[in-house]
Chain A
Amino acid sequence: MKSKSFEGFMKIVFIICAATSILAILLICYFIFSGGVPFIMEYGLKNFLFGNKWAPSHSPQAFGILPMIVGSLLVTLGAIIIGVPIGVLTATYLAKFSNKKIYRFLKPSINLMAGIPSIVYGFFALVVVVPVMRNLVGGTGMNIITASLLLGIMILPTIIGLSESSIRSVPESYYEGSVGLGASHERAVMTVILPAAKSGIISSVILGIGRAIGETMAVILVAGNQPRIPSSLTQGVRTLTTNIVLEMGYAAEAHREALIATAVVLFVFILLINGIFLIIKRRAMN
């Protein structure tokens, strides 16, 4: 009798625990949107999203976030171009080519990469990549390429981890079927295993995009942070995330609301990315 009431009690505990995270996400949604949406309405969605001038301290103030949207998309795209081939091939190597000895060393190293605080990555890029970039292309060395390179490295653990497990989950029978026809190990892996792991690999890329677009502290150190639409890859950019961090400390009134509205846009991006992720995952199940 006592154990039954205890079970009932524990059930409630579990429900509360489960509800906490859902509650958190709902609260975040509510406060971000209620803080940002009125501003967007007032300023005009089109002016806000497609205005290319961000000048909160001018008179009149201008709050166009197109430069930041472009900046976020560019560094994310750059990160994908750099991170995806390296990540997917690393995962392939780990799952299908490395021997146990190398694996035992490599795998924890990659896991460690995931645990390094992003500011440490940023600092590394600041003292190592930025000077190199300065010598190569001139200027401050803080530009789209630097930020892309940094983010490309930072999304590696996400891409490698998920890709590796999806490659490993491809049935061994596919591999046997392929080598049974006289295919080499390399050909079997590249033409049968990888295509079969496609949906998992794409999921990993999408999570990587989510990570890259949301990254802030590392990017702030090396991206240059100029709020303008860049005309070349060697110019600095400001992303949606860094825009918020840079100015939130002193912003007030409309400026502050504009920053919250920036967060709304970022949030919508993340929701879209997660939506795509879910759709792909569901399609893979069928």
Chain B
Amino acid sequence: MSKLSIRNFNLYYDDFHALKDINMEIGEKEITAFIGPSGCGKSSLLKSLNRMNDLVEGCSINGEVLLDGKNIYDKDVDVNTLRKRIGMVFQKPNPFPMSIYDNIAYGPRTHNINNKARLDEIVEKSLRGAAIWDEVKDDLKKNALRLSGGQQQRICIARALAVEPEILLMDEPTSALDPISTSKIESLVQELKDKYTIIIVTHNMQQATRVSDKTAFFLSGEVIEFNDTDTLFSIPKDKRTEDYITGRFG
């Protein structure tokens, strides 16, 4: 059974129909990439998966997103628990203006872990998990804003890992980073695959081929094609997919 099932999902920003009848099955411990030109709805769908779209004024949805068979839009779903289970890494690194330690400990503290020894353990584990422990271990009191952009993004990944999510949503996590930081994050994503289900939105088709198992191609609010990454990039079924991946538009 798939981890996430998106069924007949529609999303509107006021009158604008931004996502049209999306159906998608996302398997556990797979990396799924969402690709497509700007404004195609890939980020909107990503945000819908942990209900960050609730924050957008005028946004309404219908359809279902099933997490382990349970619709996350049901009335009895606690959105804070949902977001603990489905973590998110944003396009622009957004560490809080506090120490590295407090950044990572923020999530666990939110979920009522206050034991110092336990927090220490989580912080170290999360920073190791995000491949940044060696760079910051001597200076955990340092303000996270003073790190470089690539380091900040890995702090944000560590921060997301600290609440032990089941799924990690990544919204163009490398678009604001330089190539070296990007390759670090990409190899990190590969490592995380053993433990987490990952969905990554990317502008960069090479990135999708490098990191993902499956790829969904979006265009004007529709999923045009969703398939194994290798298949989608080598023998696309749809003409529009082919045009996009060969760089004819977008």
Q: Which A residues fall within an 8 A CB radius of B?
A: 171, 173-174, 176-184, 187, 191-192, 195-196
How many B residues, CB 8 Å from partner?
Answer: 25
Contact with B92, one of A173, A178, A196 (Cβ below 8 angstroms): A173
Q: Are A171 and B94 in contact (CB under 8 A)?
A: yes
Residues of chain A lying within 8 A (CB to CB) of residue B106: 178, 181, 183, 191-192
CA distance A195 to B125 in the complex (A): 26
Extra A-B contacts (6), CB below 8 Å, given A181-B106, A183-B80, A187-B110: A176-B55, A176-B88, A176-B90, A180-B87, A181-B84, A182-B107
Q: Which B residues fall within an 8 A CB radius of A?
A: 50, 52, 55, 80-84, 87-88, 90, 92, 94-98, 106-107, 110-111, 156, 159-160, 163
Q: Are B97 and A179 in contact (CB under 8 A)?
A: no
Q: Are B96 and A179 in contact (CB under 8 A)?
A: no
Residues of chain B lying within 8 A (CB to CB) of residue A179: 52, 55, 80, 83
A20 to chain B, nearest CB (A): 40
19 pairs of residues in contact across A and B, judged by CB atoms under 8 Å: A174-B96, A176-B52, A177-B90, A177-B96, A177-B156, A178-B106, A179-B83, A180-B50, A180-B87, A181-B107, A181-B110, A181-B160, A182-B80, A182-B82, A182-B107, A183-B106, A183-B110, A192-B96, A196-B96
Residues of chain B lying within 8 A (CB to CB) of residue A176: 52, 55, 88, 90, 94
Q: Are B96 and A182 in contact (CB under 8 A)?
A: no
Residues of chain A lying within 8 A (CB to CB) of residue B81: 182
B86 to chain A, nearest CB (A): 9
A169 to chain B, nearest CB (A): 13
A181 to chain B, nearest CB (A): 4
Q: Are B94 and A196 in contact (CB under 8 A)?
A: no
Residues of chain A lying within 8 A (CB to CB) of residue B156: 177
Q: Are A180 and B96 in contact (CB under 8 A)?
A: no
Known: A182-B163, A183-B80, A183-B110. A177 touches B87 (CB 8 A): no
Residues of chain A lying within 8 A (CB to CB) of residue B55: 176, 179
Q: Are A181 and B163 in contact (CB under 8 A)?
A: yes
CA distance A176 to B90 in the complex (A): 9
CA distance A179 to B88 in the complex (A): 10
CA distance A187 to B109 in the complex (A): 11
